[in-house]
Amino acid sequence: MKKFLSGFIAGTALLLASTAQAGVVTFDDLSAGGKLASISKNNPYAGFTWSSSWYLGDTSVAGYDNGAHSGVDFVSNGFGVNNLGISSANPFNFTGAWFATPNTNGSKASWINITAYDSANQLIGSTGNVAIGSTFSFIAANFSNAARLNIARDKGWFVMDDLSFNRGETQGTVPEPGGIALLGLGAALLGGMRRLRGRRITPPKAAAHGFF
């Protein structure tokens, strides 16, 4: 019984923890095949819908040998397009992503600006114009409950990798009452069992035998 209740409490704690799911989108579970092609054919990918101008590539593509922050795959703004979108039907908290400019010839972005909107299309915030170069820079955002991101640049090409996000409770949010109730019930049952174990049951005294 004790093992069951301990497992119950541990399981409930894991259930509560799972309401906030962190993740990093690396793109390395996709196959670029040595070329640049729209990632939108994989929608929804990693829980997000990617606008058609996001192009998946790998470091074997000419001029993109520096395109990945980790692994070999990355995304780029195909044809140097501006204002690319990333959206989700489920709100997410956006932490940031790694950006750089590829080694390819031609125009290259000198800054990136990430803007977030909620499900009502209301502005959450913007990073402002953050400078990027041929080595990767992390652009931190920390936008909560976002439904859509817009990534803008001044000109030319850029690459992005390792997009960080989490879904679930934002900092300071009170956990759901149902989860607390389950955890409390398990704790109460375990506490009651311990109290019962602590009680000593005194056996009845044997009848005294005497001689008359």
At 106-160, the pLDDT tens digits run 999 999 999 999 999 999 999 999 999 999 999 999 999 999 999 999 999 999 9
**Side-chain-side CA neighbours of residue 190 (13 Å):** 15
Over range 198-211, report the average pLDDT. 50
Report how far residue 48's alpha carbon sits from residue 164's, in angstroms, rounded to the nearest whole number.
Answer: 12
Over range 5-18, report the average pLDDT. 42
Give, rounded to a whole angstrom, the gap between the first and last alpha carbons of the chain.
51
CATH 3.40.30.10 correct for 22-167: no
Q: Are 102 and 69 in contact (CB under 8 A)?
A: no
pLDDT at 179 over 90: no
pTM flag (> 0.75): no
Q: Which two tokens stand for residue 178?
A: 């149902």
- What single string gives the DSSP state of each residue in 102-144? -SSSS-B-SEEEEEEE-TT--EEEE---EE--SS-EEEEEEEE
Q: Which two tokens stand for residue 131?
A: 């400078």
Residue boundaries of the structural domains of the chain = 22-167
- What percent of the chain has a predicted confidence (pLDDT) above 90? 68
